[in-house]
Structure 1
Amino acid sequence: MVLQPDVMTMNKDKRIEIFTRLRNENPNPETELEYTSPYELLVAVTLSAQATDVSVNKATRKLFPVANTPAQILALGEEGLKEYIKTIGLFNSKAKNVVKMAELLLERHGGEVPKTRDELVALPGVGRKTANVVLNTAFRQPAMAVDTHIFRVSNRTKIAPGKNVDEVEARLMRLVPKEFLMDAHHWLILHGRYTCVARKPKCGSCIIEDLCEFKQKTSD
């Protein structure tokens, strides 16, 4: 992707200070999805599309003790899987994708979750964002899964503004200092989820308020 010059991004020193503060506050950030293996994470992230982590965790707490491998999910089948995930939005299409994904993992990858983006996005129900979450969280590869929270925070703060998620991802991968890149995805999503929220950001209690370049700051 060819990006326009970064005329609207903040300077490097500010970015370093922002991520330093985020790291100091939360040295070992983790996803809020519950999982114990790369496959459980892949399934959980696939189920989380247009759903909350809380709702996914409630479903997988019952599902994973029964079926948490591709072979077990395939044996469960679509109808069986639906019974566990029917409280999650779009559960019909998600059940179909997760079962087909299990089949392909067994056929092509020996039941193991692949460790490359191209192989991951070739699986049913797995887009670039889902693949990036798995690469970063399960396999500790530098990757940036830009969701609505990260997109909002990146544009509001001017850390890495972009017109779409692809632009924001490309800028973040290039502009986030290397020492912070591995965990930047988690810091940004948590910041967007709990502080830099959509309707009224909690600027008054934000640890990076003085560095953020958002002009319509609020008090709380």
Structure 2
Amino acid sequence: MNPKKRRAIFETLQSLNPHPTTELEHESPFELLISVMLSAQATDVSVNKAMRRMYPVANTPAKVLALGEEGVTGYIKTIGLYRTKAKNVIATCRILVEQYGGEVPDNREALEALPGVGRKTANVILNTAFGHPTMAVDTHIFRVSNRTGLAPGKDVRAVETALEKFVPDEFKQDAHHWLILHGRYVCRARVPQCWHCAIEPLCEYRPKTPAPIE
């Protein structure tokens, strides 16, 4: 895909959604961190539903530690892999309290050292909480980047590298949010909804999916 097309794609996505952000509800970097950790192999909807109950009670590392692993489990048992996630949440909160004064660190190395935090989660935190122009490549972004021809890659790291290289600088802060939302609601895995896709004229995917017959 040529640079002119790439720029046009992001100009279009920006015009439709000038200020995109995560659909995970949060009011602090810590709440975002915990919600992103819990969202692995789970929907944002399920995480938000659980956290609406937990955050009013415990929304700092110290308060979550006070709940204990079983207390956290009680709030998140509707989320997939909840036992492992509860263990990681408690271990992460302990590190935040003991090493960072209860604050979420603003650097990749420290974030990726936290239990249950990988590169994608770190990228979300760096981008959404701290304003770094990172690319958090999930299954939606991986699919959209490859299917459209925007930033092809054989694995998520390759796609991340391609996006960092090809996305124009002025769009890098918001790019991964636009692509996640586009993949979630329009460029879906099984049946991409090409018939009402705003970037369809720019997309290099063939064949395009026709509109369903009423």
SS at match of 2:189: coil
1:86 aligned to 2:77?
yes
- Structure 2 match to 1:42: 33
Number of equivalenced pairs:
211
Q: Render the CA deviation track for 1:57-96: whole Å, top value 9, x for unaligned.
A: 0000000000000000000000000000000000000000
Q: Which amino acid aligns with 2:112?
A: V
- For 2:55 and 2:122, how far apart are their aligned partners in 1? 20
Q: Which amino acid aligns with 2:200?
A: E
Q: Render the CA deviation track for 1:94-122: whole Å, top value 9, x for unaligned.
A: 00000000000011111100000111000
- Structure 1 match to 2:98: 107
1:145 aligned to 2:145?
no
- Structure 2 match to 1:11: 2
- For 1:219 and 1:30, how far apart are their aligned partners in 2? 30
SS at match of 1:219: coil
1:123 aligned to 2:106?
no
- For 1:79 and 1:210, how far apart are their aligned partners in 2? 52
- For 2:180 and 2:54, how far apart are their aligned partners in 1? 26
- For 1:179 and 1:219, how far apart are their aligned partners in 2? 33
Find the partner of 2:198 among 197, 204, 207: 207
TM-score by length of 2: 0.98
Structure 1 residue ranges, 4+ long, deviating more than 3 angstroms after superposition: none
Q: Render the CA deviation track for 1:114-163: whole Å, top value 9, x for unaligned.
A: 00011100000000000000000111111000000000000000100000
Q: CA RMSD in A?
A: 0.4
- For 2:120 and 2:91, how far apart are their aligned partners in 1? 19
Unpaired segments of 5 or more residues in structure 2?
A: none
SS at match of 1:207: coil
- For 1:135 and 1:202, how far apart are their aligned partners in 2? 31
SS at match of 1:65: coil
TM-score by length of 1: 0.95
1:162 aligned to 2:163?
no
Unpaired segments of 5 or more residues in structure 1?
A: 1-9
Find the partner of 1:70 among 43, 61, 75: 61
- Structure 1 match to 2:14: 23
Q: Which amino acid aligns with 2:47?
A: V
- For 1:120 and 1:29, how far apart are their aligned partners in 2? 23
How big is the shift at 1:203? Answer: 0.2
- For 1:73 and 1:216, how far apart are their aligned partners in 2? 50
- For 1:69 and 1:92, how far apart are their aligned partners in 2? 20
